[in-house]
Amino acid sequence: MPLSPPNCRQYPSREQSKGTMVSNDADTAAPKQQASSMAPNPGKATILALGHAFPQQLVMQDYVVDGFMKSTNCDDPELKEKLTRLCKTTTVKTRYVVMSEEILRSYPELTQEGSPTMKQRLDISNKAVTQMATEASLACVRAWGGALSAVTHLVYVSSSEARFPGGDLHLARALGLSPDVRRVMLAFTGCSGGVAGLRVAKGLAESCPGARVLLATSETTIVGFRPPSPDRPYDLVGVALFGDGAGAALVGADPAPAERPLFELHAALQRFLPGTDKTIEGRLTEEGIKFQLGRELPHLIEAHVEDFCRKLMAEREGLAAGEAMGYDDMFWAVHPGGPAILTKMEGRLGLAGDKLRASRCALRDFGNASSNTIVYVLENMVEETRRRKAAAAKEAGDGEDCEWGLILAFGPGITFEGILARNLLATARP
């Protein structure tokens, strides 16, 4: 009998109660002298609201090793030592997961090596991702302040399900969207899927006047959960790093007076690196998704990221001859694929130590949640901007944030996804 997934709620992270995650509600407590926000360029897509949702199981990283080894009936001391080391190096502190003791009791075959369990995994995963995406979407729409009936397009991203009709239709039905809503689904785009979804939403919003595009991402590691094996030591990276959840963004051009845009999506770029298709590899099998990350991934990203960023930065119009944006004059919203990727990128570009703080905080609190994670990074950035502006207003200071920046992610291919963006909550200069 298929198991219904755990109820999905919008659970706060350890730090959310301290204000590290965004609420899109009007900042009614802001001082009157707070500086105005930036105005978006006419016709350019903007992110009007963000939202997120998580499954019920909160996993503390300190307990991952013992819990995983026990649930998979593994007593291999070498595998345990390796997983212990990986859990420490990922910098993750907490994650949310769909997997639970209830699921393992109902499906004990998930812990048995070589068992054909794809049907069982999809029974669990398909329901879970739709439920999480629904909750994240509803949170986003509430933050936006509009009506579901005003959503004209739906972009749905997931690498955690396989069915047809696809998850885009299941989500549209769950939300009660119009049968005429125009849907796009991006499947198996992995960690770059969230930014790819923003790129697609941008194109739709800018090409269809009046469009309001709902982007939803939803991921679970159920499809890749397997018992540890000495023949597959790389599986332990996923155990130590990946988390589950959902994210959402409402995208539209030419905001109405009641809408409060967060970011302008100015220009988008996608690039794949030839000859790297085996670096991030996943295959659907009867035992679930077999997934592998090449050790060379951080080095390949380091080697190619600067040229990619330079091409994106060149899309900014209005710069005087000889004028250029410096890396530390920009904000950086980077998908935190892992600490090594962030560190390599930071070193390559010579970024100041706080430039990737929003990414590192998302990794700490939620792990690598694949396509969802960029939403959590952007939420962190919005909250940081609001806190700085509020503090500056109280102290009669500047509170200036970087107006321009890059939204980046790296996925299978190796595929680079990037968006040149403007932080519309940054202080407008006189």
Task: From the candidates 87, 140, 191, 309, give the one annotated as an active-site residue.
Answer: 191
One-letter amino acid of 223: V
CA atoms 100, 101, 102, 106: torsion sign: positive
Transcribe 335-370 into DSSP letters: --S-HHHHHHHHHHHT--TTTTHHHHHHHHHH-B-G
- List C-alpha distances in Å: 22 to 52, 135, 139, 283, 384: 10, 16, 11, 36, 9
Residue 191: active-site member: yes
- The Cα 196–Cα 14 span in angstroms is 29
Transcribe 306-328 into DSSP letters: HHHHHHHHTT---PPTT----GG
Residue 328 near residue 355, CB atoms below 8 Å: yes
Residue 280 near residue 297, CB atoms below 8 Å: yes
Backbone φ, ψ for residue 267 (5° rounding): -155, 150
Kindly compute the dihedral angle of the four CA atoms of residues 325, 339, 97, 151, in this order, to the nearest 10 degrees: 10
Residue 102: Cβ within 10 Å count: 13
Residue 227: Cβ within 10 Å count: 19
- Does the bond joining 165 to the residue before it have cis omega, within 30 degrees of 0? yes
Residue 244 near residue 219, CB atoms below 8 Å: yes
Strand, coil or helix: 424: coil
Q: Would you please indicate which residues are annotated as catalytic (active-site) residues?
A: 191
